[in-house]
Structure 1
Amino acid sequence: MRFLNRSAGRLSRHRRGPLAGLVVLLLGLLMTGGLYAALSPAQAEEAQTDAELVAKGKELFLVGCSFCHGRNAEGVLTQNGNQLGPSLVGVGAAAVDFQVETGRMPMVRPGTQNPPKPEAYDDEETAALAAYVASLGPGPAIPAESDYSIDGLSGEEREAAITRGGQIFLTNCTACHNFAGAGGALPRGRWAPSLQGVSEKHIYEALLTGPSQMPVFSNGNLSPEEKRDVIAYLKSLEEQPSYGGFTLGQLGPVSEGAAAWLLGMGTMVGFAVWIAAHTTRTSKKKVDA
């Protein structure tokens, strides 16, 4: 006990010494410096990588996109006041990812609507363009797979998600895209593209950004879960067999009505003409006799 008391007394005298505060300060600085040295290189490397990606995206943008969208992505107007290319400030990385990966951008020539085609940039170049446009202003980011996939749900949860998605789609989307997502014609030479075979990510990005004449379904209008459910419903249509035989493009009354008139009514009219002609020939033979 006396030994412990003497040790505690010596420690207490050292703590009250003039160098005690300096030693504690040096230890604190060493610990702070060690933590900074351990963590800051990764952060600096990540920031440098992002800066390099944005710089590469700017170079690609100036070469392939600035003619229509302007050197600073501010948009370009023609001499007649028509919009040659809209401003891209604030559209976000998701819009760039959708337009470039589906081949809609860059456009071959200005037109009413840009159709999908083989993409002109690889994945790395697309990521660079998206990073550059995202640096111009806040906008929707590229969604992660967990945002649009239902793979992690159980069987009952998947069925419920598909049912909810069908209700949302039939309420908001069938006027343009048809009840089966087959697309259709719109006024002024535009059209709603088919959603069959479109990737889940691109459907989510289209909902999020509203390309062309499509309205924007932000998270305030449709929650991320509701967007996921709509995608689940569309993908379930691709897996569903056609119980009626020919799908006729799944265009509903348009193709079904045309088939009914051309095949059904046409066959009946042809058969009626044949009966009438056959009856006339029979009557003439009986009169001559």
Structure 2
Amino acid sequence: MAREKKRRARGRRSPFAAAALIGAGLLLTGGVYAGASAAMASTDTQTAAKAELTVEDGEKLFTANCATCHGADLQGTTEGPSLVGVGELAVEFQVATGRMPLQMQGPQAPQKPPQFTQDQIEAMASYVQSVAPGPSYPEDWVVSGEANPEDSADEPDVSHGAELFRINCAMCHNVAAAGGALTEGKYAPALTSTSALHIYAAMVTGPQNMPVFGDMNLSTEDKRDIIAALVYQQDAVQVGGFTLGSLGPVSEGLFAWIFGIGALVALTVWITAKSN
């Protein structure tokens, strides 16, 4: 008797169905987990942003990142100067511009991206100010280019600020605020993108080779006018086209000599060779 062939039952699942089902389950689980993690991270970030750091937080940050060089008591060590009397303005300037913590010993601390958030920086600055007070943040009208509330008629004078800058600052920072070289590998940084607060902080605290401009040298209104002139120059449109770094006639003459005269010489040689 012939053996009856077994017919394949209708509706039988493919051997790949189980693998596809498992894969879909894994994808769904992973998507849900990723979404939940992102939501929790966003909530934690918002909570951390809303949490205002205190002076105690600043002390912990200072102890962990600055005390090795500047001393736990801010008195300084052989690796770093004392911070007594520098004030919160100097701390904010040095850390917010990335000059501190110092990357390596050299003629000058270079500017680099900051390693702390602005809240952390301000917390450390507040701690230093609480232990060894010094220069503090200016009033808003000084760095915002507004009139002095005590004398509403005293509006910022950009031309006066530019004149003061040429007299007091241009010999180091260049008349176009493009920076310049100093002795022994030091340099005056460019001010073409420096914030108004950090310009004021540099004038008041005198970082590195910068002299301190007290009120006997430059009044608060004078500092405001200089800041207004520099901010105006930062925002101004260069009507002359390509500036070549705003370094003046030396760079422009060098460009004309190399490329302009060089092009004329090359054209002369080409014409001569073609005629022959």
TM-score (norm 2): 0.73
Letter in 2 for 1:145: D
1:141 aligns with 2:136: yes
Q: Distance in 2 between matches of 1:129 and 1:210?
A: 20
Is the 2:147–2:154 Cα contact (8 Å) retained in structure 1? no
| Distance change in 2, residues 1:85/1:142 (3 Å) | same
Q: Secondary structure at the match of 1:60?
A: helix
User: Could you tell me which residue of structure 1 aligns to residue 96 of structure 2?
Assistant: 101
User: Could you tell me which residue of structure 1 aligns to residue 177 of structure 2?
Assistant: 181
Letter in 2 for 1:95: A
User: Could you tell me which residue of structure 1 aligns to residue 9 of structure 2?
Assistant: none
| Distance change in 2, residues 1:90/1:186 (3 Å) | same
User: Could you tell me which residue of structure 2 aligns to residue 257 of structure 1?
Assistant: 253
Is the 2:88–2:133 Cα contact (8 Å) retained in structure 1? no
Q: Distance in 2 between matches of 1:181 and 1:75?
A: 33
Equivalent position to 1:119, from 108, 114, 121: 114
Per-residue deviation at 1:276?
4.5
Per-residue deviation at 1:164?
0.6
1:269 aligns with 2:259: no
Letter in 2 for 1:192: A
Q: Secondary structure at the match of 1:109?
A: coil
Q: Distance in 2 between matches of 1:165 and 1:137?
A: 32
Per-residue deviation at 1:74?
1.4
Q: Distance in 2 between matches of 1:173 and 1:269?
A: 41
Aligned length: 220
Q: Secondary structure at the match of 1:139?
A: coil
**Whose helix fraction is larger, Structure 1's or Structure 2's?**
1
Q: Distance in 1 between matches of 2:101 and 2:154?
A: 40
Letter in 1 for 2:167: T
Letter in 2 for 1:227: K
Q: Distance in 2 between matches of 1:175 and 1:276?
A: 48
User: Could you tell me which residue of structure 2 aligns to residue 71 of structure 1?
Assistant: 72
User: Could you tell me which residue of structure 2 aligns to residue 110 of structure 1?
Assistant: 105
Is the 2:89–2:125 Cα contact (8 Å) retained in structure 1? yes
Q: Distance in 1 between matches of 2:217 and 2:128?
A: 24
Per-residue deviation at 1:152?
4.6
Q: Distance in 1 between matches of 2:257 and 2:154?
A: 43
Q: Distance in 2 between matches of 1:143 and 1:60?
A: 24
Q: Distance in 1 between matches of 2:65 and 2:250?
A: 40
Q: Distance in 2 between matches of 1:151 and 1:229?
A: 10
1:246 aligns with 2:242: yes
Using the aligned pairs only, state the percent identity. 47
Deviations 1:37-81 (A, max 9, x none): xxxxxxxxxxxxxxx94333222111100111122121221xxxx
Moved more, 222-231 or 52-61: 52-61
| Distance change in 2, residues 1:152/1:99 (3 Å) | same
Letter in 2 for 1:161: D
- What does 1:1-289 correspond to in 2, within 5 Å? 53-77=54-78, 84-152=79-147, 161-278=157-274, 281=276
Letter in 1 for 2:221: E
Q: Secondary structure at the match of 2:56?
A: helix
Deviations 1:166-207 (A, max 9, x none): 000011111111111111222211221111121111111111
User: Could you tell me which residue of structure 2 aligns to residue 27 of structure 1?
Assistant: none
Structure 2: 5+ residue runs without aligned partners? 1-52
The CA RMSD measured in Å over matched residues stands at 2.2
Is the 1:145–1:201 Cα contact (8 Å) retained in structure 2? no
Is the 2:143–2:200 Cα contact (8 Å) retained in structure 1? yes
Deviations 1:195-246 (A, max 9, x none): 1121111111111111111111122211111111001111111232222221
Is the 1:209–1:218 Cα contact (8 Å) retained in structure 2? no
Per-residue deviation at 1:149?
1.8
Letter in 2 for 1:67: T
Letter in 1 for 2:242: F
Letter in 2 for 1:56: D
Q: Secondary structure at the match of 1:85?
A: coil
Per-residue deviation at 1:273?
3.2
Is the 1:180–1:234 Cα contact (8 Å) retained in structure 2? no
User: Could you tell me which residue of structure 2 aligns to residue 21 of structure 1?
Assistant: none
Q: Distance in 1 between matches of 2:253 and 2:173?
A: 18
Letter in 1 for 2:207: P
Structure 1: 5+ residue runs without aligned partners? 1-51, 78-83, 282-289
